[in-house]
């Protein structure tokens, strides 16, 4: 039987997100980013001014507008202004290369772009930015004969006529991380993303008394849904300008957030920072992570140091925040939780039949928070969507309590001598070694075994350097035949634009080494 999450009463109205705090306490702090602060009244004033400016640019309802902005509070202002006038936001990762920017602009059909001033060289190198129908504007700087974010906000003039939007209208086009192929543009409507935000409010039990720190890029669906959920209930939101452990620790000390949401890599960097102290974490009531599997041994390390249990979740760009572990029981440590509000889940075998509890199955989802589809990609839609259900491509197991346990990504599963091996399980075993900081595991084609298990690791600072054979033996004691045949030590682990270990880059490294080996 399908497993239902709690019912959602209604989606959050993204076009009028601040109505609750504006009516109750308009002059209290709403948003903090670096040295900049907004009250609720000031935040709405900037949104309204920018919305009018976007209309004066000649932008019309349903136009796609891409954003390449640094992580600042202003990025939320821009998103909310776009939603107010019916534009479709196309958030681009600020680390995108020019080629990645061009790919996204072409695929989305964007007509305009807002770009951080320090990325101005990309305009010269890009094939598409100079050809955008409505042009581009800078954020964070003014250049001769160009429009700017600051100029639009300060333009003044009469209020603009706001077009009427339908809840089924598209709101966002998010590009996937491309971990299993070329990035696809995921469409979320006002209904689906409003449901995501409402579901996160319910899952985290957010109130106006919370102080929320989304510790990742607001260009990504996870941090954006966190920030919008906080703003919708009147909770103060703090936006970091970078995602290293040092800045997050500084914000913990200065802003004393109650909710911290980050990808595992940032949690690990923060907790392992030498300056981190138990008292830095005292204000928190929730430490939530998602986006990649959090190793159980490091979760225990985090708890021992901070006194907080990592609450893990699971989601995709197509279906964000769909599973959430609200349990603080050690027995459920490592589970990605139960079905989140608004979702329905089903675990199925290769024939499409539902599996019994404690049996691995492919995760299918449906519900109002699920994407409406991939932008102008009918083949991808046919492959992923069926009768209202979305095939995540991820393998899960559900226990008798309805708690889900991540078993691996279907496209990343390593088939070795006929056995399925999850890269995340091998990574966890490697990261239990006292000298290993991060681990990334991939499968490489092998004529004898089908695929061989390759691991790339980085080491902690100021620790004894282990030999490769020692690391392999260590892993074999924990996971037996699943241990890697090859371990390579890297100075830095490649991380993709969404903050996950970049297994595509690791595969390229492995293949390049194989080619070099053949040439010798």
DSSP string, 70-131: -SSHHHHHHHHHHHHTTPEEEE--TT--HHHHHHHHHHHT-SEEEEEGGGTHHHHH-SSGGG
**CA distance between the termini of the chain:** 56
DSSP, collapsed to helix, strand or coil, labels residue 273 as: coil
Q: CATH 3.40.50.12780 occupies which residues in the chain?
A: 3-398
When the candidates are 3.90.1150.10, 3.40.50.12780, 3.40.50.2300, 3.30.70.60, the CATH number that belongs to 3-398 is 3.40.50.12780
**pLDDT in tens for each of the 520 residues of the chain?**
899 999 998 999 999 999 999 999 999 999 999 999 999 999 999 999 999 999 999 999 999 999 999 999 999 999 999 999 999 999 998 988 898 899 999 999 999 999 999 998 998 899 999 899 999 999 987 666 678 999 999 887 666 678 888 999 999 999 987 655 678 999 999 999 999 999 999 999 999 999 999 998 999 999 999 999 999 999 999 999 988 778 899 999 999 999 999 988 788 888 888 889 999 999 999 999 987 778 787 888 889 999 999 999 999 999 999 999 988 888 888 899 999 999 999 999 988 999 999 999 999 999 999 999 999 999 999 999 999 999 998 899 999 999 999 887 777 778 776 677 878 889 989 999 999 999 999 988 876 667 889 999 999 988 889 999 999 999 998 888 889 999 999 999 988 766 778 888 898 898 888 877 665 5
Question: Are β-strands 236-238 and 259-262 bridged in parallel, bridged antiparallel, or unpaired?
Answer: unpaired
Q: What is d(CA 184, CA 186) in angstroms, rounded to the nearest whole number? A: 6
Q: CATH 3.30.300.30 occupies which residues in the chain?
A: 414-519
Helix (H) or strand (E) holding 259: strand 259-262
User: Whose structure tokens read 């979760």?
Assistant: 299
- What is the predicted pLDDT for the residue at 412? 75
Beta bridge partners of 170: 189
- What is the predicted pLDDT for the residue at 436? 93
Q: What are phi and psi of 181, to 5 degrees?
A: 155, -170
The domain defined by 414-519 carries CATH number 3.40.50.150: no
- The separation between CA 354 and the C-alpha centre of its own chain, rounded to angstroms, equals 29
- What is the predicted pLDDT for the residue at 417? 67
Q: pTM for the whole thing?
A: 0.84
Nearest to 70, CA basis, from 169, 153, 166, 141: 141
Q: What is d(CA 364, CA 360) in angstroms, rounded to the nearest whole number? A: 13
């Amino acid at each position: 039987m399908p497993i239902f999450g709690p019912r959602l009463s209604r989606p959050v109205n993204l076009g009028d997100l601040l109505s609750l705090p504006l009516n109750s306490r308009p002059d209290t702090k709403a948003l903090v980013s670096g040295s900049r602060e907004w009250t609720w009244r000031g935040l709405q004033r900037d949104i309204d001014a920018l919305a009018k400016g976007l209309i004066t640019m000649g932008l019309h309802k349903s136009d796609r507008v891409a954003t390449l902005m640094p992580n600042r509070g202003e990025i939320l202002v821009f998103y909310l202004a776009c939603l107010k006038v019916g534009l479709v936001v196309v958030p681009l990762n600020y680390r995108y290369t020019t080629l990645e920017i061009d790919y996204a602009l072409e695929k989305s059909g964007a007509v305009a772009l807002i770009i951080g001033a320090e990325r101005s060289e990309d305009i010269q190198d890009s094939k598409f930015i100079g050809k955008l129908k409505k042009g581009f504007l800078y954020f964070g700087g003014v250049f001769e004969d160009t429009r700017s974010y600051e100029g639009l906000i300060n333009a003044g003039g009469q209020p603009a006529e706001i077009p009427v939007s339908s809840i089924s209208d598209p709101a966002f086009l998010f590009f996937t991380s491309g971990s299993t192929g070329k990035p696809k543009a995921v469409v979320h409507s006002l209904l689906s993303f409003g449901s995501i935000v409402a579901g996160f409010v319910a899952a985290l039990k957010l109130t106006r008394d919370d102080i929320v720190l989304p510790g990742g890029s607001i260009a990504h669906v996870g941090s954006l849904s966190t920030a919008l959920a906080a703003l919708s209930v009147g909770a103060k939101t703090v936006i970091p300008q970078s995602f290293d452990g040092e800045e997050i620790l500084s914000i913990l000390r200065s802003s004393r957030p109650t909710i911290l949401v980050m990808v595992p890599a940032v949690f690990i960097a923060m907790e392992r920072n030498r300056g981190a102290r138990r008292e830095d974490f005292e204000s928190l009531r929730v430490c939530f992570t998602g986006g990649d599997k959090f190793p159980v041994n490091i979760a225990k390390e985090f708890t021992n140091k901070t006194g907080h249990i990592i609450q893990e979740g699971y989601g995709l760009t197509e279906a964000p925040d769909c599973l959430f572990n609200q349990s603080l029981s050690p027995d459920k440590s490592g589970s990605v939780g139960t079905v989140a509000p608004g979702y329905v889940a089903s675990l199925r075998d290769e024939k499409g039949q539902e599996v019994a509890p404690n049996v691995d199955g492919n995760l299918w989802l449906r519900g109002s928070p699920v994407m409406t589809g991939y932008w102008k990609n009918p083949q991808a839609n046919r492959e992923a969507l069926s009768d209202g259900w979305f095939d995540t491509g991820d393998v899960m197991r559900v226990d008798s309590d309805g708690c889900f346990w991540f078993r691996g990504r279907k496209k990343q599963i390593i088939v070795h001598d006929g056995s399925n091996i999850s890269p995340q399980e091998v990574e966890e075993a490697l990261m239990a070694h006292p000298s290993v900081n991060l681990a990334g595991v991939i499968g490489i084609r092998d004529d004898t075994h089908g695929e061989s298990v390759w691991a790339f690791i980085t080491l902690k600072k100021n620790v004894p350097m282990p030999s490769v054979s020692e690391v392999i033996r260590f892993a074999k004691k924990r996971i037996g035949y699943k241990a890697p045949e090859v371990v390579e030590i890297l100075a830095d682990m490649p991380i993709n634009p969404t903050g996950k270990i970049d297994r595509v880059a690791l595969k390229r490294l492995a293949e390049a080494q194989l080619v070099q080996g053949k040439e010798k």
